Structure 1
Amino acid sequence: MDVDVAVVGAGFAGLGAAIRLARRGRESFVVLERGEDVGGTWRDNTYPGVACDVPAQLYSFSFAPSARWTRLFAPGAEVQEYLRACAREVAAHVRLRTEVLRARWDGADARWHLVTSTGPVRARVLVLAAGRLTEPRLPDVPGLADFDGPVFHTARWDHGADPAGRRVAVVGTGASAVQVVPRLAERAAALTVFQRSAPWVVPRGDRAYSPAERAAFAADPGRAAAERAEVFAQMEQGIEARRAVPAAVAALRERALAHLAAQVPDPALRAALTPDYEVGCKRVLLSDEFYPALQRPGVALVPAALQRLEGRTALAADGSRHEVDVLVLATGFSSTRQPYARRVVGRTGTLEQAWSAGMVSHASTVVHGFPNAFVLDGPNASLGHNSAVHVIESQVGYLLGALDHLARTGGVLEVSAGAQAGYTADIDRMARDSVWLRGGCSSWYVDARSGRLTLLWPDTAEEFRRRNGTFDPAPFG
């Protein structure tokens, strides 16, 4: 198959690029998806309680609004249905169950040659939209492989492992854990939660949309757009706390501590749930149910990491022992080291080699040594305070501008090493005094090899679009 553009991945980023490509109708393209369905993260995560942490009106494409959201924060199944609906517009271009095994730049014909599980693909432009939360990170716990019972990651939920009447343990207290713990606490005979470090949690404030509100969204698309703009403006204010502005940090900290105090009256449990790092250093979680769930009969918080397993006995770092029938790993993903990078071979080596000291780029979208390639949801292309969809739409705008430039001029686009180094230095300068680097925590936002902030854009969402939403040919040699 020969196409102008090959898009790898059919999650938010890949589908967003595909829809914009289809609507402009200038390039031939294909979307290659290894799964049996579209949706990416929202296809893979089906654990009880899964939901979005960004209001639904903002966690959707501005160019594909929906009037079908039932809640302010959409349940995971609704997000997946939304993406399926989006995919119908480009269904003719999507190849499911097609895994990209290798993508190699061929300078002789200025094309990307892809080896896939369903046959070769040749493309002038490669768009990597494989996501950053795709490969579960499993803990290195002695005895895990020999655990005598169901054990699975939240992103690979075993729906056949009914927790009813069983002793269940959850490893981790991050974003997935605070959603799944309340649901497990309702069904399990006993629930043990292993907490390596306490999360900062603020009120979620979720609510259902009334039938009248949903009818109004359907009748007047401008109403949904107005709510989207209002939510966006509110969330933009959150960057001040991440920039470590003292007043903003104090206000966010007090909000979280007040929530903890209001929901956890027991001083010992409250102390165990009080983080020992600055608020915002790790992802700030939204929940009105997590703290109450930990106080239900039969639920125990272990304020220590899981250290090892001996049969069905889980031993924590504090020396405590716990009998377990089902083990749920809420341990996150390989985020700073993207598994697909080893499969992409550019002009002088693999993307994994180019990122051996941590992910780098120019405009958070292009990488030196990889001509005519664009990475969506890659280096410094997420937000710690606002919607990632805004960033994706900005990157797609950059991609389309680059395609227009290629159509006018022909040739090949490869960003210069100097431009990439300058952009990386700018990122480091903006991040230097942020709470992500100065907050006293270890997080998946920061690459352990370099100590650099490689996942997040350390400024406002508006600034990301201003700087990276329009293609500029100047940095390209």
Structure 2
Amino acid sequence: MPSSRPLPERLDTLVIGAGMSGIAMGYHLKQRGLDDFLIAEKSDGFGGVWRDNRYPGAGCDVPSHLYSFSFALKPDWSRKYALQAEILDYFESCAERFGLGDHLRTGLIVRSLTFDESEGRWQVRFADGSQTSARVVISAVGQLSEPFTPEIAGLTDFTGPVMHTARWNSSVKLDGQRVALIGNAASAIQLLPEVSERARELTIFQRTPNWIISKPDRAFTAFEKWAFAHIPGWQRLYRLGSFLIHELRYSALVKGSLASRFTLWSGKRKIATGIKDSKLRAKLTPDYPPGCKRILLSNDYFEVMQRGNVRLVTDGIARVLPDGVETANGEIVPADTLIMATGFVTTEFLPTLEVTGAGGGSLREAWGASPRAYKGVAVAGFPNLFMLYGPNTNLGHNSIIFMVERQAEYIADKAGLIVDGGLKALAVRPEAESRYNADLQTRLSKTVWAGDCPSWYKTADGVITQNWEGLATGFACTLGRRDDADWEGV
């Protein structure tokens, strides 16, 4: 439960966000003895995206034992790929287990951060007008926290319910309705089975087809759960095996590799054997290499797409009408309900915050169209400010929790230099940040993400801002190296 104590006027560390990253950060701050911290959360509790995304079928595409903290293993996961409710329960239990509720303040939306150079503190202003001051600020808002709704003419004129998958309204009636689903990616393929069973008609508006691979999901047996809980070291060995298998999959994301060619062949074969109708098969076959956009996991997607009440539209949307959708070809598609499976604001990073650093510099202006950071956690000119799941820390092949844990450990050490070490300000050197990102973008140019396809991995100018290049273990090594010369402290 969140603390009901008043907001302090001054504190050592402010963590923004109580999702997976905020929980990991809170744990590592406590481990480091940095107990004077507050977690500011805009919603009403822990969980982040798993609290927000409650649409039917919501779940994780990383195995449960791997999508969990190394310091809080869970032996009784119900299945290999857990669903939303169980994942949320896990994160809430972790927060309770490590005493993070005392540090949580809910309903707090951070609006601006301004660095006071004379004091070496961040002045923090919240949406409700309240303020505080912190020596260290750590953003844990993630890359998938702000829902994205495209600008579509007439959208506000629609007379029926309109809801984004990340703001699901379970009271909206779907049974027997004509449902228009705008978007056909990760969230869409998870909710499709249930919505297609409930709706009288389901029309899916697709901009770009996706590569689909099978999801090796099943329930764990009672014996397996007993073994995870009672055989010493078995769960960690199982988790390590899963991690290493996923590490090997990175080779499929390298342009021209044997693994990438095999993935392309198997993806085409899956479509050829899974879709009977040649016209539908053509609509669902991507014209870009697997991995350029996020590869999706599903065992029933092609089956759902061939149901009698399901129709796929690829003509594009001209406008939304009060009672339907008009396509670019002038067809009117009647609809009672609109579901926006249109993803998140991903490439902007901290899109709702005004951040003013040393010398009055704006973070938004410093970043321009392509956000960047040193090791994904710090930006030159913005002392004592750190990010979890920042630019170029996402993965296409393994668990993001592994990445976030390494960042939380790294940031906790830097925060300790400020709080315990007596530094007024600690900032990464501009030349270190430039060198790091130039090298990273060179390496990223050799991956499938650099291909010609629309993707949330990169900005409009083609800069890949989301993903790390290489193995997750390579990122751990990068953060583990001594880098004192890249930082300037006063």
Q: Which residue of 1 aligns with 2:266?
A: 255
Matched residue of 1:259: which SS?
Answer: helix
Deviations 1:399-432 (Å, cap 9, x if unpaired)? 1221343333523211111111111101111111
Mean CA deviation greater in 300-309 or 424-433: 300-309
Q: CA RMSD in A?
A: 1.5
Mapped contact 1:399–1:471 kept (Cα < 8 A): no
Q: Distance in 2 between matches of 1:22 and 1:471?
A: 23
Letter in 2 for 1:390: F
1:280 counterpart = 2:263: no
TM-score by length of 2: 0.94
SS state of the match for residue 180, structure 2? strand
Give the secondary structure class of the aligned counterpart of 2:124: strand
The structure 2 residue matched to 1:268, chosen from 263, 276, 279, is 279
- Matching of residue 360 in structure 1 with residue 368 in structure 2: no
2:320 is equivalent to residue 312 of structure 1: no
> Aligned to 1:75, which of 70, 83, 101?
83
Counterparts of 1:418 and 1:125 in 2: how far apart (Å)? 22
Superposed displacement of residue 302, structure 1 = 1.2
1:375 aligns with 2:387: yes
Amino acid across the alignment from 1:432: S
Q: Show structure 1 runs of 5+ residues with no match.
A: none
Runs (5+) with no aligned partner, structure 2: 1-7
Matches within 5 A, 1:156-167: 156-167=167-178
Q: Aligned pair in 2 of structure 1 residues 148, 41: CA closer, same or farther (>3 Å)?
A: same
Structure 1 residues 86 and 44, CA gap change in structure 2 (3 angstroms) = same
Correspondence for 2:61: 53
Task: Give the deviation of 1:246 after TM superposition.
Answer: 2.9
Match in the other structure for 1:92? 102
- Normalising to structure 1: TM-score of the pair? 0.96
Matches within 5 A, 1:287-366: 287-340=298-351, 342-347=353-358, 348-366=360-378
Give, in angstroms, the shift of residue 349 of structure 1. Answer: 2.2
The alignment of Structure 1 onto Structure 2 pairs a total of residues equal to 475
Residues 1:445 and 2:453 aligned together:
no
Give the secondary structure class of the aligned counterpart of 1:427. helix
Picking from 25, 33, 37, the partner of 1:17 is 25
Please point out which of 197, 221, 225 is paired with 2:208.
197
1:250–1:145 Cα change, 3 Å: same
Task: Choose from 144, 149, 153 the match for 1:133.
Answer: 144
Are residues 1:105 and 2:101 paired? no
| Structure 2: distance between partners of 1:114 and 1:26 | 19
Quote how far apart the aligned CAs of 1:459 are.
1.2
Residues 169, 192 of structure 1: 8 Å contact kept:
yes
- Confirm or deny that 1:393 pairs with 2:401: no
Judge conservation of contact 1:171–1:331 (CA < 8 Å) in 2.
yes
Counterpart mapping for 1:226-241 below 5 A: 226-241=237-252
2: CA distance, partners of 1:319 / 1:205:
41
Shift of 1:469: 4.1
Q: Partner amino acid for 1:198? A: P
Match of 1:206 among 208, 217, 220: 217
SS at match of 1:161: coil
Deviates more, 1:267-276 or 1:316-325: 316-325
AA paired with 2:105? R
Matched with 2:226 is 215
Identical aligned residues as a percent: 37
Structure 1 consecutive aligned stretches of length 4 or more whose deviation exceeds 3 Å: 339-342
> Partner of 1:463 in structure 2?
474
| Aligned partner of residue 327 in structure 1, secondary structure | strand
Q: 1:432 maps to which residue?
A: 445
Do the aligned residues in 1 keep the contact of 2:119 with 2:424 (CA within 8 Å)?
A: no
CA distance in 1, matches of 2:37, 2:354: 20
Residues 259-313 of structure 1 show CA distances to partners (whole Å, capped at 9, x for unaligned) of: 2223212222111110011111000000011111111121111123222122212
Change (3 A) 1:471 1:86: farther
Q: State the one-letter code of the partner of 2:386.
A: F
Q: CA deviation at 1:247?
A: 1.0
CA drift of 1:245 comes to 3.5
Distance 1:304 1:205 in 2: 33
Cα deviation 1:177-236 (Å, max 9, x = unaligned): 110111101110110111111100000121111111112212236222112111111111
2:469 alignment partner AA: P
Helix, strand or coil at the partner of 1:238: helix
| Superimposed CA distance per residue, residues 370-415 of structure 1 (whole angstroms, 9 cap, x where no aligned partner) | 1011111111011111111111011011112213433335232111
CA positional deviation for 1:131: 1.3
What is the one-letter code of the residue matched to 2:279? A
Structure 2 SS opposite 1:392: helix
Tell me the CA shift for residue 454 of structure 1: 0.3
1:420 matched to 2:428? The reply is: no
- Residue pair 1:216, 1:223 contacting (<8 A) in 2 also: yes
C-alpha separation in 1, matches of 2:385 and 2:481: 16
